[in-house]
Structure formats: C-alpha cells, structure tokens
Amino acid sequence: MPLELFLDLYSPPCRAIYIFAKKNGIPFEFRPVVLGRGEHLKPEFLKVNPLGKVPALRDGDFLLAESVAILLYLSRKSQTAPYWYPPDLQARARVHEYLAWQHTAIQLPATNVYLCKSLLPHFSGQPVDTMRLDRLLGKLKPALQPLDQEVLAAKPFLATEQVSLADLMAFTELMQPTAVGCDLFRDWPRLAAWRARVEAALGPELVQDAHKLVLQPREQDPRLAQELVHRLQEQLS
C-alpha cells in the first residue's frame, strides 16, 4: 500500500510536506482532511492521529504526526538530496535550530495575520479589522528582523548555502499572509531576495499548486461558518 499523507493545504506545515513530497518524486496518496468541516475530529481520522491534528502520515502500519517529524522521516526514507537535511553535524544543527524555533516565532503569528486578513472577513462578512491586523503584523517583526539582518546577511539560505527543510518551512509560513496581500517582504530586502531563491529552487508551478487554496477560501454552510467565525475570533483576540 502506498504511503498516505493526510493534509489540509490551508495549513502551512501541510503545504511544506506536500511540496517536499512532490518536489522529490515521493509517491503518496493524498488524503484531504478539511479542518473547516471538522474532518480532523471524525473517528476515522482519529485512528490515524488520536490528537486530531494534521498533517499525519500512514506508511503501512506505521503512523506519524507532526510536520517536522514527517519531513525528517520522508527525507530519510526516500534518501532525498543531502542539501534538504545535510549530513554535516553543524549544518544539520542549524536546520534543527530553525525547525525548533519557527512554531511560535513564525508559524503562529503568520497564520494569525492570514486569518485576520482573509478568513475572518470572508466568513463573517465584516471588513478587515485594520487595528487588529496591524497588531498581529507587529508580532511578526521581532522574528523577521533577525532573519533579514543577521541570518541572511551571512548566507543565502536560513541554515546552509543551499535550500533546506528550514527554508521550506519558513517559505510556506510566510507565503500564507503574502498570498492575501500582506507583503511581509517589503521592508526586508534580504528576505525578499531569499523568497525568490527559494521559489526558484522549489519551482514556481509547484509553489502555485500548493498555495492555490489559500487564495480561494472554501464556502461553508451557514452553521459551520458561524462556528468558524467564533473560533477565529477567539484565536485572534
């Protein structure tokens, strides 16, 4: 049975895994799990990941959750090019350093910007709360500044001289708000140049394929939309 990936491509970590598998020619069955419809809480998915979270992987009888763990598993199982997860101890440590830091420093605030700018107005029918959006963008600045002014001043990519898993995760996280009109790269020239290098390394067509859903919020029935607005308001408050 082929490897199965349970993903919702609204999720940046899910997109990172999707891009990585596609870019490296890793055969997999795409099992969509629509978070907005509560499919991650259905009994059939909870058998795959009892925590009710995506992404998740099933490889025969082996089940695995968490995006970083899945990326590392895929890179080793498929013996992908070494630049993704370099064998050098210190280079690998730099990849680990970013992957350990990014969850709260980049992923969460970037996702909240996207939710405020796109999903909440879409489902509530209300205009963007510009004061809230500015506040959420402000929470990203302390992370973007060292990436632009220190990390990328020393090398072309976040961990090494070539694209790695660290860049893949950062790219999918930062592209989510950018895709809906929040140009996170405008004030950070090294980050802007890095973004272009990563997109070229991944392939623009694959990047577009992975991000197309972000540009087209799903329609929901009124009851589910109301519940989603309530959850979004709670998360962003």
Per-residue model confidence as pLDDT tens digits over 93-141: 999 999 999 988 999 999 899 888 887 887 788 898 899 999 999 999 9
Two tokens, residue 156: 């072309």
Q: What are phi and psi of 203, to 5 degrees?
A: 105, 120
Q: Within a 10 A sphere around the Cβ of 130, how many other Cβ atoms?
A: 10
CATH number at 4-77:
3.40.30.10
The residues near 21 (Cβ < 8 Å, ≥ 6 apart) are: 5, 28, 74
pTM to 2 decimals? 0.92
Identify the sign of the CA torsion 190, 196, 199, 203. Answer: negative
Greatest Cα pair distance in the chain? 53
Q: Which CATH architecture has domain 89-232?
A: Up-down Bundle (1.20)
Cβ atoms of 144 and 101 closer than 8 Å: no
Q: What is the pLDDT of residue 48?
A: 96
Question: Whose structure tokens read 């992957």?
Answer: 99
Query: What residues does each domain of the chain span?
Result: 4-77, 89-232
Q: What is the pLDDT of residue 224?
A: 61
* b/e burial code for range 104-120 (CB count within 10 A of at least 16 → b): ebbbebbbbbbbbbbbb
Per-residue model confidence as pLDDT tens digits over 128-149: 889 999 999 999 999 999 999 9
Rounded distance between C-alpha atoms, residue 210 and residue 213, angstroms: 7
Per-residue model confidence as pLDDT tens digits over 76-94: 999 999 999 999 999 999 9
pLDDT at residue 225 tops 90? no
